[in-house]
Chains A and B, each alone.
Chain A
Amino acid sequence: MPAPDLAVLARRAALVARLRSLVPGEGVIADEVGLRAYDCDGLTAYRQVPLAVVLPERTEQVSAVLRFCQSEGVKVVPRGAGTGLSGGALPLTDGIVLGLGKFNRILEVDAANRCAVVQPGVTNLSVSQAAAPHGLYYAPDPSSQIACTIGGNVAENSGGVHCLKYGVTATNLLGVELVLMDGTVVRLGGKAGDAGGYDLLGVVTGSEGLLGVVTEATVRLLPAPATARALLLGFTTSADAARCVAAVIAAGIVPAGMEMMDKPAIDATEAFCHPGYPMDAGAILIVELDGHAVEVDELVERVATIARDGGATTVRASADEDERLLFWKGRKSAFPAVGRITPDYLCMDGTIPRARVAEVLERMTALAAARGLRVANVFHAGDGNLHPLILYDANEPGQLEAAEALGADILKLCVEVGGVLTGEHGVGIEKRDLMGTMFSDADLAQQQRLKCAFDPDGLANPGKVFPTLHRCAELGRMHVHEGQLKFAHLPRF
């Protein structure tokens, strides 16, 4: 992490007093016990008590706090519900945590325009609940949707099991109100499309709190599908299941969701909540089809045929809603189920081309064995988004380090086969030092120049995403390539 600014630490009492004047009442936490509650996010292996926690309630307060922090050179770590898995909300000792938990209102459900205007501290699930009476819902559905907030979803560009058909947060976000580090408030996008101008909304989505603070979001609502049915498919090996995934896509079918679990994950969930998964299977797929009843029935038949042709040992189509939910029950409790068979686990998040899934799973098993560890796999097979769960025991000396090393091995493997480091959890601190395996220095310098346009002093969530921090002035001077490469056959200026 960046070296702590000792001058800021020395002025802590004065800074806290000023912050209290900006956000009065219960809006500033500065006591040891209160700060402990904010010392980590969902990546609990890393902890740090912040300088202070500030909990504003209005956009003007966010603006005033950021302007103050910029003028005082104080770093800011934005935070939603703290469910993130990459350490994006890990505090800094010399920085404040800006918690958006009090921005918890749904401002408007605009059914005619198929959108909702919400504050960033609203939970993901509550948006769909508010939209349900209108026959609408919010499509991105990360596993943590009961707790995670829209602001965090925007920061991480969260997905979920249904993004194969309905897209990730970026696809379903129409606009935001964004506060920059200098306190400026800008509106990007909104209820109308084609706003013109640069797609800054697209850049802010998935920017992990490094560009500014979102204080309002307008999200797209979709008509609730008339029908949904799921297939439970069992295969002898993960490779057979992976081939079935590719065959379904190649047949022109894009299911609402297509999830895979391997043998260790099947065993753990069957013991945990008895969803009735086939115990003779080396891997299962849950394939959900939704839409008009006629279409769903037709596609269920087609997927079942593809699965049988691909050697499926179990093919069950849900006959009713209860059975569909039972198929999903195991998948949705897979993480806690795995938590019961191991003292600790690390959840990874790479995305790879579908065609390489079987190969990567096989090589992953070998990589785990080489480090003396085991891996359970529960993941979004339809879009190649892997979630290997690395099982370890933090009380055994050396196991956390081995698990982290295996995590790095796996993510490097994802990049090697043409994939990426993270599909939906974000880079944060967890994958920061692996960025160089995917991007060149020039790639990363350009990304940081973009950050400079939003945050010239580098105070918004520094130490995350980028392995090396550069000053903006230094990045702007890099005109090193002019005239370096001469192509004699090209016309001259």
Chain B
Amino acid sequence: MAALNPADAHEVRAIVGEAMAAGATLAVEGGGSKRGLGRPVAATHTLSLVRLDGIIDYAPSELVLTARAGTALSVIEALLAQHGQHLAFEPPDTSAQLGPGAPTLGGLVACNLAGPRRLRAGACRDHVLGIEAVTGFAEIVKAGGKVVKNVTGYDLPKLFAGSFGTLGVMTAITMKVLPRPEKTRTVLVFGLDGAAAGSLMIELARGPLDVSALAYVPRAVAARSAVGYVAGAGSSVLAARLEGPPRSVLARTEAARARLGAHAPVEELHGHNSAALWREIGFGALLAAPASRPVWRLGVPPADGAAALRALEQAGAEGYLDAAGGTLWAAAEEPVPVHDLAARHGGTAMLVRAPAEARARMPVFAPQAPALAALERRVKQAFDPKGVFEPGRRVEGV
């Protein structure tokens, strides 16, 4: 298999055109960190975007950054940090689940991944303002813009976010960025059962404390944390994160402790410990071992999270809740019917990690209603009529 390393959008376009003419198919790759996500792809060639690298435009007072799609996420995050800003949806660290590889902006957007702050700041797709991409018509198209408010034409940036590269090759992306919180505190509450934790998370998410992340980790899972306060608790842990200007964070932390301390023992994490805990929570790292075990992410209505977790546990899985109950991470061996279980709780599931053989055999994404599946096929056709990009990544045979 030849390595294809285009240096700009025009070269990408030439490669796509030639691939179409030759009947070839392309797997599109940045740092390769998310190759294990989705269904296994059987493409004849791999198109690497590592040379499509570099920040194109960044003006901190505009809260907007444009970079080429192959730019390493670490480079973008470091530049933003220098100016007291960040990607507010908290790009998760996938390495514990999916292995090494330097994540790129393009890969992050293509998989639409967000971390615990999604509760407050929204998903990755909410922060993608504009794209340039090469379609399966071998054309360079742009959509969206470099400003936050824009309804000029269809929102293709959102469509490409989470498309797993199946609609085209993104070559440049404009992201909305936001000021970093000046201060962070995480309040821990120990020993609650799932139902009590679920109710408490609903109350906190509805309340005035402006919580930026809310998770509940049962005892056995908490014991695997790298954060001593969590691993050594010997009980379940509910975690609530407060962020913002210093005086506000301290006042809200005090209010949260007063409210939560009425239920159970509380503790407080600062700085490094707080960051480490939310990194573990953000992409299922607490369930990473043993590596042979399939790991799932479920999206459910938040108020159903605790019940869905209990149902999974009863089926022999283990897991924990993020996003105030709206996201459920589960490690479940094969007989556990995770898709059915998610559907019964009003949500959907995605198989996040499993060997390629299992991902080819098991449904990775939730089954769709026939009318919706047909519409999605027509959308794929509208961008990639010859099926050049990422064959099989989302849907078998498409």
A residues apposed to B, CB below 8 Å: 110-114, 134-136, 156-157, 159, 163-164, 167-168, 170-171, 180, 184-188, 190-200, 202-203, 205-208, 223-226, 246-247, 249-250, 252-254, 291-292, 294-295, 298-299, 351-355, 380, 383-385, 418-427, 431, 435, 438-440, 442-447, 449-454, 465, 476, 478-479, 481-487, 490-493
Contacts and interface: CB of A to CB of B under 8 A. Distances in A.
Given A191-B346, A490-B15, A202 B161 contact: yes
Given A198-B376, A452-B382, A113 B302 contact: yes
Nearest to A168: B149
B206 interface: yes
B167 to A, nearest CB: 8
Contacts of B302: 112-114
A482 B302 CA distance: 48
A424 B17 contact: no
Contacts of B178: 254
Nearest to A211: B154
Contacts of B394: 197
Most buried by A among B60, B248, B326, B368: B248
Given A113-B302, A490-B4, 18 more contacts: A136-B206, A157-B155, A186-B375, A194-B350, A199-B159, A199-B161, A199-B162, A202-B161, A351-B150, A423-B151, A425-B151, A427-B151, A438-B152, A447-B143, A453-B378, A481-B138, A482-B20, A493-B18
The 3 closest A-B pairs by CB, nearest first: A202-B158, A194-B299, A295-B248
B154 A292 contact: no
A249 to B, nearest CB: 5
Nearest to B210: A291
Contacts of A446: 135, 137, 139, 141, 143, 156, 382-383
B371 interface: yes
Nearest to A178: B375
B163 to A, nearest CB: 6
Nearest to B350: A196
Contacts of A484: 17
Given A355-B59, A420-B150, A485-B13, A187 B209 contact: no
B158 A203 contact: yes
Q: Which of B112, B147, B378 has its CB near the most chain A CB atoms (within 10 A)?
A: B147
Nearest to A491: B2
Nearest to B250: A294
B262 interface: no
Interface in B31-66: 45, 59-64
Contacts of B140: 442
B310 interface: no
Interface stretch (B121-129, B186-194, B215-223, B279-287): B121-129
B350 A487 contact: no
B73 to A, nearest CB: 20
B375 to A, nearest CB: 6
B145 A485 contact: no
A206 B155 contact: yes
Contacts of B366: 195-197
Nearest to A423: B149
Contacts, number: 312
A134 B61 contact: no
Nearest to A158: B151
Contacts of B167: 198
A250 B61 contact: yes
A199 B125 contact: yes
15 contacts: A110-B303, A112-B302, A186-B371, A191-B301, A192-B299, A198-B159, A199-B125, A205-B155, A294-B251, A447-B143, A449-B382, A481-B13, A481-B138, A490-B15, A493-B21
Contact of B141 (A354, A380, A443): A443
A192 B178 CA distance: 25
- Residue of A198, A419, A444 with most partner-chain B CB within 10 A: A198
B45 to A, nearest CB: 7
A294 B348 contact: no
A263 to B, nearest CB: 24
A353 B149 CA distance: 10
B383 to A, nearest CB: 7
A277 B289 CA distance: 63
A246 B18 CA distance: 46
B299 A193 contact: yes
A192 B326 contact: yes
Contacts of A352: 147
Contacts of A206: 151, 154-155
Contacts of B347: 192, 194
A112 B202 contact: yes
Contacts of B161: 199, 202
A292 B255 CA distance: 11
A435 B152 contact: yes
Contact of B301 (A113, A136, A424): A113
Contacts of B179: 249, 252-254
Contact of A180 (B208, B375, B379): B375
Nearest to A452: B382
A203 B156 contact: yes
B327 interface: yes
Interface string B242-272: 0011011001100000000000000000000
Interface string B364-398: 01101101101110111111010000000010000
Contacts of A247: 61
A355 B61 contact: yes
Given A112-B303, A195-B366, A482-B21, A439 B162 contact: no
A385 B147 CA distance: 9
A424 B150 CA distance: 6
Contact of A203 (B20, B154, B205, B209): B154
Given A163-B149, A199-B162, A423-B147, A450 B245 contact: no
A203 B61 CA distance: 28
Nearest to B199: A112
A205 B162 CA distance: 16
A253 B141 CA distance: 34
Interface string B1-18: 011101000110111011
Contacts of B277: none
A354 B152 contact: no
B60 A250 contact: yes
